[in-house]
Amino acid sequence: MNIGIVTVFPELFEVLGCGITGRALRGGLIGLSMWDPRDYTQDAHRTVDGRPYGGGPGMVMRVAPLQAAIAAARAELGEGCRAVYLSPQGARLDQRRVETLSGGGPLVLVCGRYEGVDERLVQLAVDEELSIGDFVLSGGELAAMALVDAITRLLPGALGHAGSAPQDSFADGLLDCPHFTRPQRVAGLEVPAVLLSGDHEKIAQWRLKQALGRTYERRPDLLAERGISDAEQQLLNEYLAER
């Protein structure tokens, strides 16, 4: 999976050298390339921004350097690639979208700074605008890194022990169940006995019940979207009765 990053701060992406993404990079499972719009400017000051038409505070990223950087990235990554602009105005990213992007062609992730990019750049060179949540950052880079991380961990072979990804939160449209490790008692709080029973069938049932209960309590919107089977409704009823 090849991903181009259009950013005036390429050094921010060094953090992806750690952990799962770092191993995926070293193993060639993902390829990251950086495209700095400043390298595609014509003036001595390497200007990438301009004052906003209509006035107001701050600066706006100009079309030409961004467009040239995106074009250069596209040319190297192949014309089948999609350009994604990360911004709070984008469609909300969710695990389903991550799965689609992870299984698709190369990506160019466009990171804005300042007050944003000239809207004509979005019209001319961006295929899709995505948001990772309803909050404002100082630039699109952290959102792009979140997307790279989420995509990478879905690639076959990215996770050490195979089968971790499908058990993640959201794999089945549910929040994750609680997890416990040693010691058995912490500040008077015990690990649920069923997890010590060795009965893998019962443990799986307990985990599903917890996942259903937590999703119902914390994210009823997810549960409504996903739907619930009769057997699962039974488990959810047990969970609520046990509260």
Cite the active site residues. 88, 115, 153, 168
Interface with ligand 9WO, residue 175, by CB under 6 A: no
Binding residues for ligand 9WO restricted to 82-111, rule: CB under 6 A: 86-88
Among 65, 106, 112, 173, binds ligand 9WO (CB under 6 A): 112
Interface with ligand 9WO, residue 116, by CB under 6 A: yes
**Helices then strands (H, E): number in the chain?**
9, 9
Shortest gap between Cβ of 210 and ligand 9WO (angstroms)? 30
Among 19, 78, 103, 133, binds ligand 9WO (CB under 6 A): 133
How many CB atoms neighbour CB 110 within 10 A?
A: 29
Residue written as token pair 């911004």: 87
Shortest gap between Cβ of 114 and ligand 9WO (angstroms)? 7
Number of residues binding to ligand 9WO, judged by CB under 6 A: 15
Interface with ligand 9WO, residue 131, by CB under 6 A: yes
Residue written as token pair 């014509």: 42
Longest dimension (CA), the chain: 70
Interface with ligand 9WO, residue 139, by CB under 6 A: yes
Q: How far apart are CA 118 and CA 161, in angstroms?
A: 44
Interface with ligand 9WO, residue 59, by CB under 6 A: no
Q: How far apart are CA 112 and CA 124, in angstroms?
A: 15
Contacts of 66 (CB under 8 A, 6+ apart): 6, 37, 48, 110, 117, 118, 121, 125
Binding site for ligand 9WO (CB under 6 A): 58, 86-88, 112, 115-116, 131-133, 136-137, 139-140, 143
